[in-house]
């Protein structure tokens, strides 16, 4: 509740008509495409891709998603996206990455929120070990892996339905095909 705010916006159309819109103002978020490969060229359709299975109260169902989370705010400002990505990967999957690459920035639902999501690629995965961070107390999640091919099939059959995961798995498919993020 403390990380979001609601605003009532007055917008004027090109024709001069005024409308009221309600917007959710959000500090931003990160999402992680975590692949069990040492480098880009090693990614193929058999590469494991890490996801989390968790109950989502708003849709009222368990979803299979890539790891993600909101940027944390502190007295000094908002957490840097790269730091948040490493924290979220550790908290949600118990994994750490040897290399990171920023892939994309996108708006999650621009019709009602200014939330921007920063999508990162995490490679060179290893267990966090004894120093693993605990996930948030309100999260009940399970880390699972599918191959890139299995994740693409899960998207095709409608088993993965959230936008950030659809974007990331599409990129994973392209990486498996071409070995590049361009």
Q: Of 84, 77, 166, 162, nearest to 120 (Cα)? A: 84
SS3 117: strand
Q: For 51-69, write each residue's pLDDT tens digit.
A: 999 999 889 999 999 999 9
Q: For 104-126, write each residue's pLDDT tens digit.
A: 999 998 888 888 999 999 999 99
| HSE-CB for 85 with a 13 A CA cutoff | 23
pLDDT in the model for residue 136:
61
Token pair, residue 105, equals 């920035």
Say what percent of the chain tops pLDDT 70.
Answer: 92
pLDDT in the model for residue 13:
85
DSSP collapsed to 3 states, 19-77: EEEEEEECCCEEEEEEECCCCHHHCCCCCEEEEEEEEECCCCEEEEECCEEECCEECCE
Evaluate if residue 94 carries a pLDDT over 80.
yes
Average pLDDT, the chain: 90
| HSE-CB for 87 with a 13 A CA cutoff | 14
pLDDT in the model for residue 1:
41
Evaluate if pTM is beyond 0.85: yes
């Amino acid at each position: 509740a403390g990380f979001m705010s609601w605003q009532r916006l007055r917008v004027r159309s090109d024709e001069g008509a005024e409308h009221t819109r309600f917007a959710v103002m959000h500090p931003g978020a990160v999402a992680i495409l975590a692949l069990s490969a040492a480098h880009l060229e090693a990614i193929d359709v058999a590469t494991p891709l890490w996801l989390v299975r968790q109950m989502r109260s708003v849709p009222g169902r368990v979803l299979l998603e890539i790891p993600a989370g909101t940027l944390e705010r502190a007295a000094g400002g908002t957490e840097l996206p790269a730091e948040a990505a490493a924290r979220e990967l550790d908290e949600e999957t118990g994994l750490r990455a040897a290399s990171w690459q920023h892939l994309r920035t996108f708006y999650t639902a621009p019709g009602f929120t200014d939330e921007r999501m920063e999508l990162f690629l995490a490679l060179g995965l290893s267990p966090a070990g004894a120093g693993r961070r605990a996930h948030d107390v309100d999260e009940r999640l399970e880390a699972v892996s599918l191959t890139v091919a299995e994740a693409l099939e899960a998207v095709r059959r409608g088993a993965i339905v959230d936008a950030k995961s659809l974007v990331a798995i599409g990129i994973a498919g392209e990486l498996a095909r071409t070995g590049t993020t361009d």
